[in-house]
Amino acid sequence: MRHSTRGEVDPFIVMDVMEAARRAEDAGRHIIHMEVGQPGTGAPVGAREVLAETLSEPLGYTVSLGLPALRARIARHYHDAYGIDLDPARVVITAGASGAFLLAFSALFDNDARVGLGLPCYPSYRQILKAVGLTPVEMPTTPEGRYQPQPSDVAAHGLDGLIVASPANPTGTMLDAGAMAALAQACAQAGAAFISDEIYHGISYDKAAVTALQVTDDVYVINSFSKYFSMTGWRVGWMIVPADHVRRVERLAQNMFICAPHASQVLALAAFDCREELDGHLQVYAANRALMLQGLAQAGLAKCAPPDGAFYVYVDVSDYTDDARAFAAEILEKAGVAVTPGLDFDPVDGHKWLRFSYARSSADITEGVARIKSFMEARR
């Protein structure tokens, strides 16, 4: 049968690593999972109890923009967390952040539009852009710039749009208010769309993350219940869009998705009342971060991006290899630890980097770091 060029996207390498780890587990091995950005915890207990009480109801389609009560609760969250008075009408509930990106790209760009990505970055940005007929423009970043795009990139690369992430995947670096404002202003001056990926908000350590809404309303903000709220498999997220874009996005959502899963929206609404449990997860991540940074340094893997937030450490392994994919496979085979090669995030320099996730239990992180230290000692 014929096929389209839209399907000619790169594989998501972390999923291949997960499959290799699964095969090892099926063969009886105990694998420590540091490859995937997925909390080791489930949806909040209190939220699941609320959902259980509603499962006898039909739970049919919601309106395409999402449950009004959930949209209102998200708007209240922006007031409580950031001091922003947000009109709930600007909130769009989506089928995870992935669904939000499809809606955003469809609403903002025509075919062949140039959308900037600072390398390294979340790989699915690049692949979704390609799949919908847009041009991802991969821009180098620097340690001095905290591995984030710079305002000068917008004009220099002739961008029609720019995606930023703070905290970022894979680096964990964050943009402060000044840096966020400068990027928003550069986009406004160039007539480029500004998209802020904020799915790791709520997971930061020494300072709070800045939302783009604190510096501009001319932005699409994308967030998710997957990370801080520990609801990866429920596939529910949200967007904040400019008021004059709401109906445009609504029409797209009606036709592309109808609505986000009703049960997931009920769960998400209840999750806002489970802060004590969720903040307990954050304490675990903070402890894991310290364990990871110390253990990797002891293993000789101290060259990393500064992990301000999220739950990753992105490590430069160029002292040991120029083939991160083979190095990750060797770590899995010999140490029983699954990690992600940087090629997922950076097709140019990712062969020199590995990403380690510390989203699992502290016991897993302690064991995984010990295995990596033993592996590195044996390799020297």
Neighbours of 67 (CB within 10 A): 18
Does residue 260 share a domain with residue 188? yes
> Coil, helix or strand for 223?
strand
User: Contact at 8 Å (CB) between 297 and 305?
Assistant: no
- Of 230, 246, 273, which residue constitutes the final position of a domain? 273
Does residue 356 share a domain with residue 263? no
Distance of CA 115 to the CA centre of its chain: 18
Domain count, the chain: 2
Considering Cα of 248, then 251, then 255, then 259, what sign does the dihedral take? positive
How much is the pLDDT for 380? Answer: 76
Neighbours of 256 (CB within 10 A): 14
Q: How many CA atoms lie within 13 A of 365 on its CB side?
A: 25
How much is the pLDDT for 216? Answer: 98
C-alpha span between 195 and 174 (Å, rounded): 15
Decide: residue 156, CB within 10 A, 0-12 exposed, 13-18 middle, 19+ buried: exposed
The model's pTM:
0.96
- Of 218, 238, 273, which residue constitutes the final position of a domain? 273
Does residue 37 share a domain with residue 50? no
C-alpha span between 155 and 116 (Å, rounded): 11
What tens-digit pLDDT sequence spans the chain (380 residues)? 998 888 888 888 888 999 999 999 999 999 999 998 889 999 999 999 999 999 999 999 999 999 999 999 999 999 999 999 999 999 999 999 999 999 999 999 999 999 999 999 999 999 999 999 999 999 999 999 999 999 999 999 999 999 999 999 999 999 999 999 999 999 999 999 999 999 999 999 999 999 999 999 999 999 999 999 999 999 999 999 999 999 999 999 999 999 999 999 999 999 999 999 999 999 999 999 999 999 999 999 999 988 999 999 999 999 999 999 999 999 999 999 999 999 999 999 999 999 999 999 999 999 999 999 999 999 87
The H or E element containing residue 94 is strand 91-94
How much is the pLDDT for 17? Answer: 93
Residues 6 or more apart in contact with residue 85 via CB below 8 angstroms: 79
| Alpha-carbon distance values, 198 to 100, 228, 309, 349 (Å) | 12, 11, 11, 25
Does residue 282 share a domain with residue 137? no
How much is the pLDDT for 122? Answer: 95
Does residue 204 share a domain with residue 138? yes
How much is the pLDDT for 10? Answer: 84
Does residue 237 share a domain with residue 317? no
Does residue 322 share a domain with residue 269? no
Neighbours of 53 (CB within 10 A): 10
Per-residue buried b or exposed e for 70-85, using 16+ beta carbons within 10 Å of the residue's own CB: bbebbbebbeeeeeee
Does residue 196 share a domain with residue 99? yes
How much is the pLDDT for 85? Answer: 97
CA 136, 225, 7: angle at the middle one, nearest 5?
A: 35
What is the CATH classification number for the domain harbouring 350?
Answer: 3.40.640.10
Does residue 236 share a domain with residue 204? yes
- Of 273, 297, 316, which residue constitutes the final position of a domain? 273
Does residue 283 share a domain with residue 268? no
How much is the pLDDT for 99? Answer: 96
How much is the pLDDT for 175? Answer: 98
How much is the pLDDT for 338? Answer: 97
DSSP letter (8 states) at residue 65: T
Q: Cα-flanking dihedrals φ and ψ of residue 15, to 5°?
A: -70, -35
Does residue 91 share a domain with residue 123? yes
Instruction: Name the H helices within the chain.
Output: 13-26, 45-54, 68-82, 96-108, 123-131, 151-156, 177-190, 246-256, 262-271, 275-298, 324-335, 362-379
How many residues are there in the chain? 380
Does residue 91 share a domain with residue 207? yes
Which residue segment(s) compose the domain that 262 sits in?
45-273
Question: What residue type is 337 in one-letter code?
Answer: V
